[in-house]
Structure 1
Amino acid sequence: MNENDGKVTGPQSRRRNRAGVVGVCVVAACVAVAAIGWAVVVVFAPPSEAVVEAPYTNVEVLMGEVGSSISLNTVAKWTEQPAGANQAVGIVTSVRIQSGEEVDAGAILYEVGLRPVVVAHGDTPSFRDVTVGSDGADVLQVQQFLAAIGFYDGAQDGEFGTGTAAAVRDWQEALGIEEDGVVRAADLVFVPQLPARITLDNEVVLRGATLAGGEPIVSMLPTEPTFVIPATSQQATKIPPGTEVEIAVQDQVWTAVAAAQEPSPESADQVNITLEAPNGGPICGDSCALIQVEGQSVLPSRIITQPTVTGLVVPSAALKSSADGAISVLGMDGTVIPVTVTASARGMSVVEGVEEGARVRIPAEQGGAK
């Protein structure tokens, strides 16, 4: 036997080896194709339809109130209007009224050389002494003045006769001065309106001061001071015309509404918001004397940016908004409950359409209506 017995070394043996190699390669290729196919299926197959519910908390719908306000200061200031001039010459011996005091015809304003200077109503300023035989608009004003204070009941015709002279003497007696029937130019200061709140120039009219005549020292106050809220531009956007304002003055609260807004000359970022009474008349009513006459008064105020509304209250975070703008809340079982929002402020809303005591969902990761 040949020593090579048991071994295949011829052509047939080599063909069998090549066939085996090819078979192995085909199997490997099939496995690779199958693996790629599986990967494609895994990558591109749609995910499973399992629904994972978003986390939420819940809250009970309760009766309550929703409102909002901001606190700022209101600046109140009187604007004086020139009303009359002094004609007396000499030294001021007495000042008889307080600044801003309301006076009527016959009130003594001050004294010069112990002679009273009296206020009267009229548009023509006092410019001369008048006595029997005088006539004119100033005489008519003297007659009207004497009638107003109860000393004259004769004809008001602008002619100074004996009847007028008698009334003047009675008035002079009441003042405690010489009864000569002559009204001196220095005796009266005519102002355009009475009664009125009168101020005197306290830098000119003071005890011991000397007056030369002609000083415009008498002013009138309007029926009310101006009321203005200085605010930043951002704050002003929250205070449109008609916004209610509550002004605290001592033990009183005055109600006003925002009116015009004007840029402040003092700062580019400041807006001055003028206030007015909601139904006309003075904001301060019959208590305007509480506002100091000189300088300005700074008054703490509450601006009602959202009037208080009572109703069923839910957190604003519980509100859902649909594409068409409809608002709703979700019940505990996921039911959509349409609601109407009547007021919102500070993260809470008053709604209609849901029952009191119901519990509604609040998405755990949402901070407001979506």
Structure 2
Amino acid sequence: MSRRGIVGAAALVLLLAAGAAAAALITRSGGAAAGEQTATLPPATAAVERGDLIDTLTVSGTLGHGPEQPVVNAAGGTLTELPEEGEVISRGEELYEVNRDPVLLMYGPKPMHRTLELGVPDGADVRHLEKNLSELGYKVEVDDHFGLSTLAAVRKWQDKAGLPVTGSVSKAEVVVLPGEVRVQALRAPVGTSVHAGQTLLTVTGVERLVTVQLDAGRQSLARKGAPVQVELPGELELKGKISEVGTVAKQADGDTTVDVRIRLDDPGKAGKLDQVPVSVELQSEIRRDVLSVPVEALLALRQSGYGVEVVEGSNVRVVPVTAGIFANGRVEVSGGGLTEGMRVGVPAT
């Protein structure tokens, strides 16, 4: 019987736990002993390499524009105009129309909660209104105070925007959102009687993002700024980086997950695909500057543990090694006096 060892049950368990790397295992017959030497050369050899070894985990994700946000109406009357799904709306532009009066988008961290007009108490919401007016080209002093310059700017803005020129701004005229938005879905048809508190449409950000609902137990695999590989339908592969990792776990269908968001390095290559399932390759473990051999070079030793056959000219000896992570068909090894460039035995290809 040959000296080359059949990989035992323990080795199989270890290799199967390593995921795809286990598929590279080639079964051998017999049993190997550490220190054993022979003049019989293996059918093939491979080099001991030094470098970084990166283990990966592939998870499912969705290519889109990030989470949806409802646009809550504060006007009463008949819905007379809606945007198109997929339309991008910027500061000062119309989100929808009630009784033929436009409801416009302005930027800010919080929604409007009161009517802003001459004499209202100072506040951050006044400053945000003034900043929007200033960005739209109206001359106004940006502070927390609704003064005469603010009144004049509001009147000019209302006149140009097609709003009733009242000098006051109510939440029935303006929707405040964090920035530019893309219309994701319409929630009511034109002609509907609408009321305050009703969601008329939902929006997202305009940036192309991949969202992953990652098992909370694997949250450590998602590190902000870490590179990832995204595979789209048609086997199109794009590179990206993790931009955000959620800190609050969510329960859904019995699973506990956290949101992970990924920015593509070149989102233009994704075309116009939206809400498309994708595969995301995360880096689960990285070992820097380590020695590695092909997975199939591992032998199960008679005295337990693992070894490799070191081939030096016409001589072959079995040396014990400690196995580390498995990645891309290779396994990290240490011990046995291994050095970069040595040749180890592998099965014939």
TM-score of the superposition, structure 1-length normalised? Answer: 0.54
Q: 2:253 matched to 1:266?
A: yes
Q: Quick one: which of 185, 188, 193 aligns to 2:173?
A: 188
Amino acid at match of 2:178: L
> For 2:342 and 2:136, how far apart are their aligned partners in 1?
72
Q: Secondary structure of the residue that 1:61 maps to in structure 2?
A: strand
Q: Secondary structure of the residue that 2:43 maps to in structure 1?
A: strand
Amino acid at match of 1:146: L
> For 2:143 and 2:247, how far apart are their aligned partners in 1?
46
> For 1:303 and 1:120, how far apart are their aligned partners in 2?
37
Amino acid at match of 2:101: R
Once the two structures are TM-superposed, the CA of residue 194 in structure 1 deviates from its matched residue by 3.1
Q: Quick one: which of 268, 275, 278 aligns to 1:299?
A: 278
Name the residue aligned to 1:87. Answer: 74
> For 1:92 and 1:229, how far apart are their aligned partners in 2?
40
How many residue pairs get aligned? The number is 289
> For 1:261 and 1:312, how far apart are their aligned partners in 2?
38
> For 1:300 and 1:127, how far apart are their aligned partners in 2?
45
Post-superposition CA distance 1:116-146 (Å, at most 9, x none):
111234546354484xx54235666544432
Amino acid at match of 1:298: P
Name the residue aligned to 1:329. Answer: 309
Once the two structures are TM-superposed, the CA of residue 80 in structure 1 deviates from its matched residue by 3.6
Post-superposition CA distance 1:76-120 (Å, at most 9, x none):
6744455x642323222222464584633x222112232211123
Task: Tell whether the 8 Å contact from 1:339 to 1:354 is kept in structure 2 after alignment.
Answer: no
> For 2:96 and 2:157, how far apart are their aligned partners in 1?
17
> For 1:201 and 1:314, how far apart are their aligned partners in 2?
51
The 1:219/1:251 distance shift into structure 2, 3 A limit, reads same
Q: 2:149 matched to 1:169?
A: no
The 1:275/1:266 distance shift into structure 2, 3 A limit, reads closer
Once the two structures are TM-superposed, the CA of residue 207 in structure 1 deviates from its matched residue by 2.2
> Which has the bigger relative contact order, CA under 8 A and spacing at least 6?
2
> For 1:248 and 1:159, how far apart are their aligned partners in 2?
52
Post-superposition CA distance 1:335-363 (Å, at most 9, x none):
3456676764587546672685856487x
List alignment gaps of at least 5 residues for structure 2.
1-37
Name the residue aligned to 2:7. Answer: none
Name the residue aligned to 1:117. Answer: 103
Name the residue aligned to 2:90. Answer: 103
> For 1:93 and 1:263, how far apart are their aligned partners in 2?
38
List alignment gaps of at least 5 residues for structure 1.
1-52, 365-370
> For 2:250 and 2:154, how far apart are their aligned partners in 1?
54
> For 2:242 and 2:172, how far apart are their aligned partners in 1?
42
Q: Quick one: which of 187, 201, 215 aligns to 1:203?
A: 187
Task: Tell whether the 8 Å contact from 2:48 to 2:339 is kept in structure 1 after alignment.
Answer: no
Q: Quick one: which of 242, 256, 259 aligns to 2:221?
A: 242
Pair member with larger Rg: 1
Post-superposition CA distance 1:244-267 (Å, at most 9, x none):
752224663334599999797535
> For 2:119 and 2:203, how far apart are their aligned partners in 1?
29
Task: Tell whether the 8 Å contact from 1:58 to 1:359 is kept in structure 2 after alignment.
Answer: no
Amino acid at match of 2:309: V
Q: Quick one: which of 136, 140, 157 aligns to 1:153?
A: 140
Task: Tell whether the 8 Å contact from 2:102 to 2:162 is kept in structure 1 after alignment.
Answer: no
Amino acid at match of 2:221: G
CA-based RMSD of the aligned residues comes to 5.3
Amino acid at match of 1:73: S
> For 1:260 and 1:145, how far apart are their aligned partners in 2?
32
Q: 1:53-68 residue pairs with structure 2 within 5 A?
A: 57-62=42-47
The 1:299/1:97 distance shift into structure 2, 3 A limit, reads same
Name the residue aligned to 1:316. Answer: 296
Give the structure with the higher percent strand. Answer: 2
Percentage identity across paired residues of the two chains: 18
Q: Secondary structure of the residue that 2:145 maps to in structure 1?
A: coil
Q: Secondary structure of the residue that 2:157 maps to in structure 1?
A: helix
Task: Tell whether the 8 Å contact from 2:221 to 2:284 is kept in structure 1 after alignment.
Answer: no
Task: Tell whether the 8 Å contact from 2:310 to 2:342 is kept in structure 1 after alignment.
Answer: no
